[in-house]
A and B are shown apart, each in its own frame.
Chain A
């Protein structure tokens, strides 16, 4: 019941994110919030509760399912949406593959970059004019320059050289039919801020964010999980070690880190002293080229 003259950094970040969510609601006709069951979008749901309760969210939740997700995360996603009493729309890459709009070179190819195809199909199907995402500017160099409200043309493309100027907190979300905006309420958060917010708010996470035993193979300094989708190959040395995920995504391209942390506080302690960035430690597909994220974003990736 007390208020300070100066807000703590988490209070400030929370207030900014709530403001952005309400701007989406106030300016857009038909937005959706991207919810994957991952920690960043879990924060978005709490922020949306703070922005709109006791009312309903003025948007549905949308998940683009690669069909290569960890079952714990999918179960969590469904349960969380049900607890909130909000509508969850799921569109699967399998449907795009069946339609022939995604053609895989091999069945086990990383599906990360194909998510944009299914996403844009969903945008068209529902006529969404804004997608709210949990991307953060600290994740990657190309993101550091992306606007909070980021314009996408009818091909879903981001043009980094032609972004709308964004001043003060005056956001411009106007688009034509077929175009849409991406809105990033936690643009200014770092990975540590996200963990601190999860701790402060007591947010529940899928179990794979905490330490568990898992079979892995060490590849280029990363831990590649051994799963039905990604079985060990001949010559691989399979080890079973204590790991946790710092980010959850498509199984073939998301690596866990070695950790025995089984509470949020232990994760925060690790994050505060960690030496490797979130994407560097966990993304098996981001190392190909320094500019690979920028390339994929131009193609409509989130």
Chain B
């Protein structure tokens, strides 16, 4: 039992690494896996063989994260890969995204599920256009915790002045981006991923640095719904599936009607007054179940089944929220944010993924929470230059572009701004001819 106790009850943190091969990103991930003893001997033997075959003198830890053969040939990471490690107190999911500009869409994908981002900066080069782009995308995707990893300190003689200069540069830039101390936390760590300084172990070379190592930062960073800003999140429960086992032999189950879904944000307790959308019917939570086991309350991220006091006909795509504090359910304008906006108009920052540009004369399908609706494209207000953050006029939206676009919807959605709620502020765009996912949007 000892082993079980030791490794139980980790929280979980999802983070994103931003940077290119040149910044040593793959080496950093390799170092995290290696120093937390995640790499197993046969995997290590495999990369040792490959390193030798390529005539390298030391084991190339970056080989651990190059997955597909096309990528190994080109020597670059071209898709999002997911890596896992665990420290004994926490489980980590790393989304490893490519750094080049033409892969903005992959970075957007990786950032969409991350709670924290590590921005790699080469100490010799300082902030690059790419660093700014990565910070901008992280900000756009609502990541509130950033770690600026000033890597390759070994190549600048571990000089504190270099680190301080990069820190000051980034702080100037962050202010321009709108990252404020109240909404974001940004920390800076000097390191050498190659030598292992300040990644997992402190090493000897950076004695002037008194802050935490990268791993110590990861161990204490708040996870999803864990930070102060998340406390303001309202209860959002999109219905995925309705459980109606009326054909069961058990007569008790004849009237059973369970609304299944994942709590996207907020909390719920038995007895809470809730409101069903779009029916605008108010009722109370009678019971909360997971796999038939009752709970008195449940929190964000849990997948549960809710049983309601009154018999209401609800289906997939409907949403349960808390009834407004003033008791008025017929109006969303009760001001406390308990009820999301019910709208057939969306104004959003959109990242385009497909090789075929957005066609404003066509209709698309928008998937928002568990709801799908047809959408007509309205105006493209402006395109965002992700390197300079300048707004440019645009008629077209091509692959990797990010732009502010409006949509008219056939059916209403129940949304919040993405800045307030990542789940009810997000949607994907599906091409009705190819069924491909061609874009992603964040409600402004």
Contact = CB atoms under 8 A, between A and B. Distances in A.
Interface stretch (B18-26, B298-306, B376-384): B298-306
Nearest to B243: A55
Given A7-B299, A22-B261, A280-B40, A294 B12 contact: no
B50 A167 contact: no
Interface stretch (A34-42, A251-259, A267-275): A267-275
18 contacts: A1-B295, A2-B296, A3-B302, A7-B301, A13-B12, A25-B240, A26-B240, A51-B260, A165-B353, A165-B437, A166-B437, A167-B440, A169-B113, A170-B369, A187-B82, A188-B93, A276-B42, A280-B43
Contacts, number: 211
Contact of A168 (B105, B113, B223): B113
Contact of A3 (B1, B7, B296, B367): B296
A3 B298 contact: yes
B303 A19 contact: yes
Interface stretch (A100-108, A139-147, A223-231): A139-147
A6 B226 contact: yes
A12 B12 contact: yes
Interface residues of A, number: 71
Contacts of B243: 52-55
Interface stretch (A60-68, A74-82, A109-117, A156-164): A156-164
A222 B412 CA distance: 59
Interface of A: 1-16, 18-19, 22-23, 25-26, 49-56, 58, 137-138, 141-142, 144-145, 160-161, 163-170, 172, 174-176, 187-188, 190, 192-193, 196, 199, 265, 268-269, 272, 274-277, 280-281, 290-291, 294
Nearest to A141: B67
A265 B83 CA distance: 25
A265 B4 contact: yes
A51 B262 CA distance: 10
A168 B423 contact: yes
A168 B79 contact: no
Nearest to A277: B40
Given A12-B12, A13-B12, A272-B3, A164 B303 contact: no
B427 interface: yes
B4 A15 contact: no
B104 to A, nearest CB: 11
A264 B288 CA distance: 30
Nearest to A279: B42
Given A141-B67, A166-B437, A280 B109 contact: no
Contacts of B42: 276-277, 280-281
A209 to B, nearest CB: 17
A265 B435 CA distance: 46
Contacts of A160: 68, 70, 79
Contacts of B437: 164-167, 172
Contacts of A275: 40-41
B86 A192 contact: yes
Interface in B73-93: 78-84, 86, 90-91, 93
A6 B240 contact: no
A268 B68 contact: no
Contacts of B244: 55
Interface in B283-339: 290-292, 294-299, 301-303, 316
Nearest to B432: A174
B403 to A, nearest CB: 17
B292 A53 contact: yes
A161 B103 CA distance: 13
A268 B248 contact: no
B3 A8 contact: no
Given A172-B437, A188-B82, A277-B40, A11 B245 contact: no
Nearest to B267: A3
B171 interface: no
A172 B428 contact: yes
A8 B11 contact: yes
Contacts of A50: 290-291, 303
Contacts of A8: 8-11
B41 A12 contact: no
A168 B83 CA distance: 17
B81 A12 contact: no
Contact of B303 (A18, A265, A274, A290): A18
B198 to A, nearest CB: 25
Given A9-B11, A55-B245, A145-B67, A190 B3 contact: no
Nearest to B241: A22
Contacts of A172: 367, 428, 430, 435-437
Given A5-B299, A54-B248, A265-B4, A144 B290 contact: no
B299 A277 contact: no
B62 interface: no
A18 B301 CA distance: 11
Contacts of A49: 291
B191 interface: no
B241 A26 contact: yes
B262 A145 contact: no
Interface in B266-295: 267, 290-292, 294-295
A73 B144 CA distance: 48
A195 to B, nearest CB: 9
Nearest to A289: B69
Contact of A274 (B40, B70, B261, B428): B40
Nearest to A1: B296
Nearest to A275: B41
Interface in B421-435: 422-423, 426-428, 430, 435
A1 B294 contact: yes
A19 B67 contact: no
A54 B91 contact: no
B119 interface: no
Contacts of A144: 65, 67, 81-83
B189 interface: no
